[in-house]
Structure 1
Amino acid sequence: MLDAEMMTAVLAALPDPAFLISRSGKYVAIYGGQDVRYYHDGTSLIGQYISDLVKPEKANWFIATIERALDSKELLIEEYELSNKDVKGLSDEGPVEPIWFEGRIKALDFKIDEEGVVLWVASNISQRHELETRLRQQSDTDQLTGLFNRRRLERELSYHFNAFKRHGYAVSILMFDLDHLKLLNDSCGHHAGDQAICKIAQICQESLRQTDITCRFGGDEFVIVLPHLNLDQANTTAERLRVAVEQAFLHNHQLHTQENIPVNISISIGVTEVSNQDDSYEQALKRADKALYQAKRGGRNRVVSA
């Protein structure tokens, strides 16, 4: 059996810090944290309160988590971030990236100074979180254009459709593709076609709001989700985008067929607004697709709404 001295040595050797924290947020004791790559000596925290050290919003989250662990008696596993902006007395100037932790929080079956206490083990997971974020971004990103891909589009459409149903704010959808792309590919090669697709992706990023979601749907098809824009506003956005693309390619003398006939790159756009009659975002997407088809049949380089 381990005696008290041996147990103290074991706790002190823990690589991750383990905090005993009371219901009111008081640091009662600290053990471990010997992995100096990630942690500093935290003994100065003993006797202080979370609310004295951390700004209110983050402090309230810590206290609520402690209370939940004490009341449920279950092991809680929470991921959270801490940066200089969260700590009182520090300037907001500092490292851009926060430190990410995984906290394992468990109520203990005794009290200290008449208060329930939890064991809070904090593991620095910043490297893991960065890798997960990078992998998630890669899985959501179209490799050619850098825009979101179809997988991400489906998530965004689902989110905004559900928000429309709950809160009633307008959501519109643009669907467009390139005019005469096949002629460009056949005459100048697929590399020229890829360049045209990338150029249009760049125009979208420069022309649209930061809150708009632009996705490459597949091939030369794009879909844009416009939160908080009704059909009239979406039509205005679509027309502005159409003109921007037309102007960008107007003086591009590199796009010619082998017979020296210029290839006029433009876009045809279908526009729709999510409506109360829609049972799913797929219905609105199909309307936008139908409107795009009408724009193509109507002569291309135009906007049609449905």
Structure 2
Amino acid sequence: MADLSLFSNEQIAALLAALPDPAFILTRSGRYAAVFGGTDSRYYHDGSGLVGKSICDVLNPEKAAWFETQIAIALASHGLHVVEYPLAREDIKGLGGDGPAEVIWFEGRVQPLDYQVLDEEAVLWVASNITASKKLETLLRTQSETDSLTGLFNRRKLMSGLTEHFELFARYKTPTSVLIFDIDKFKGINDEYGHLAGDKAIATTADVCRRELRATDFPARLGGDEFVVLMPHTDGEQAMPIAERLRHRIAEALQKLGTLGPGATISGGLSEMTAGDLSYEEVLKRADDALYRAKRDGRNRIIRH
């Protein structure tokens, strides 16, 4: 702990003013009693104009209520309270088009003070801009969940989604269907036209999935030329026309490539979660069995199990 007697009041004030991150003294009711620091001009503007205002004067009601709640939590805990929070242009009153175009993320370290300020309990709130680390975190998460060739979700993310939706089905009986499909005679495409043509067929198939499926659907590349589409809130009868439309659209797109020969198509198996299922693996197994039957029966078709 520093011996403040070594410093004059002017020096202490200068030290506080030099803090890179802004520090706010906020009362329980949300009044700005003082603002220190914020000298890192990459992230912060001069906050001295906040003194004397309340959070409600500066922020829109929903965001202001959130800040007031965090102050109350910190005061009740009698210890350091750490939070992460975004601030967007629309959260701040009076900015109009002058505010930042992108959302800015902060880490707030909120420490209760052991004395009153303006006749109220108060906290010291230090705000650190963590937008860069948030962007990196989002990028790394996206890379870990995304197939590099197609841009669809990868196997890992698919299994996570299947687990989540099976738990929802088990609890609420929310209808959910699963489609598995692959490109017919894909090995022949690779052998005759080369692996670049095979990759192009896979990427084209993914593009059609993004274009044709609903926003609530969850398409993923399982591996190779095999894809899975998870369809929440959709029973088998509702899912079948979606699967058939996808089959037709993918065939049209593949044949337009002009490098795969005539008749490039897909085959698929469709199943839905049922009351007797103990895990999502059972749904996948039924869909995979139906895919096998579609291949055996001549390809270019969807079979529902």
Is TM-score (shorter-chain normalized) higher than 0.5? yes
| Aligned counterpart in structure 1 of residue 253 of structure 2, from 245, 248, 255 | 248
| 1:51 partner letter | C
Deviations 1:138-169, CA, capped at 9 Å, x for gaps: 22111111111112212222222233334443
1:236 is matched with: 241
| Aligned counterpart in structure 2 of residue 60 of structure 1, from 54, 61, 65 | 65
More off after superposition, 134-143 vs 3-12 = 3-12
Offset at 1:193? 0.9
1:73 is matched with: 78
- Can you give the 5+ residue segments of structure 1 that lack an aligned partner in the other structure? 257-261
The 1:95–1:40 alpha-carbon spacing in structure 2 relative to 1, beyond 3 Å, is: closer
2:303 is matched with: 304
| Aligned counterpart in structure 1 of residue 188 of structure 2, from 183, 192, 207 | 183
Offset at 1:215? 0.8
Deviations 1:79-100, CA, capped at 9 Å, x for gaps: 1111111112333796542111
SS at the partner of 1:277? coil
Offset at 1:32? 0.9
2:217 is matched with: 212
Any conservation in 1 of the 2:197–2:259 contact (CA below 8 Å)?
A: no
Q: TM-score, normalised on structure 2? A: 0.92
Rounded Cα–Cα distance in structure 1 between residues aligned with 2:98 and 2:33 = 31
Q: How many residues align?
A: 300
1:50 is matched with: 55
Offset at 1:177? 0.8
Offset at 1:173? 1.3
Q: How does 1:266-285 map to 2 (within 5 A)?
A: 266-285=265-284
Any conservation in 2 of the 1:69–1:106 contact (CA below 8 Å)?
A: yes
SS at the partner of 1:85? helix
The 1:100–1:169 alpha-carbon spacing in structure 2 relative to 1, beyond 3 Å, is: same
| 1:116 partner letter | E
Q: How does 1:115-194 map to 2 (within 5 A)?
A: 115-194=120-199
In angstroms, what is the RMSD of aligned CA positions?
A: 1.9
More off after superposition, 275-284 vs 296-305 = 275-284
Offset at 1:30? 1.0
| Aligned counterpart in structure 2 of residue 104 of structure 1, from 88, 106, 109 | 109
Q: TM-score, normalised on structure 1? A: 0.91
| 2:302 partner letter | V
Any conservation in 1 of the 2:89–2:101 contact (CA below 8 Å)?
A: no
Offset at 1:134? 1.5
Offset at 1:63? 1.2
Deviations 1:29-51, CA, capped at 9 Å, x for gaps: 11111111111110111121112
Rounded Cα–Cα distance in structure 1 between residues aligned with 2:113 and 2:122 = 6
| 1:278 partner letter | D
| 1:2 partner letter | L
| Aligned counterpart in structure 1 of residue 229 of structure 2, from 220, 224, 228 | 224
Rounded Cα–Cα distance in structure 2 between residues aligned with 1:168 and 1:62 = 38
2:22 is matched with: 17
Rounded Cα–Cα distance in structure 1 between residues aligned with 2:89 and 2:217 = 30
Rounded Cα–Cα distance in structure 1 between residues aligned with 2:91 and 2:32 = 18
2:33 is the counterpart of 1:28:
yes
SS at the partner of 1:104? strand
| Aligned counterpart in structure 2 of residue 195 of structure 1, from 197, 200, 203 | 200
Any conservation in 2 of the 1:85–1:92 contact (CA below 8 Å)?
A: no
SS at the partner of 1:300? coil
- Can you give the 5+ residue segments of structure 2 that lack an aligned partner in the other structure? none
The 1:181–1:129 alpha-carbon spacing in structure 2 relative to 1, beyond 3 Å, is: same
Any conservation in 2 of the 1:242–1:266 contact (CA below 8 Å)?
A: yes
| 2:161 partner letter | E
Rounded Cα–Cα distance in structure 2 between residues aligned with 1:93 and 1:9 = 30
Rounded Cα–Cα distance in structure 1 between residues aligned with 2:178 and 2:101 = 34
Deviations 1:96-125, CA, capped at 9 Å, x for gaps: 421111111122222223422111110111
SS at the partner of 2:156? helix
1:2 is matched with: 4
Offset at 1:286? 2.3
Offset at 1:254? 2.5
Rounded Cα–Cα distance in structure 1 between residues aligned with 2:68 and 2:173 = 34
SS at the partner of 2:19? coil
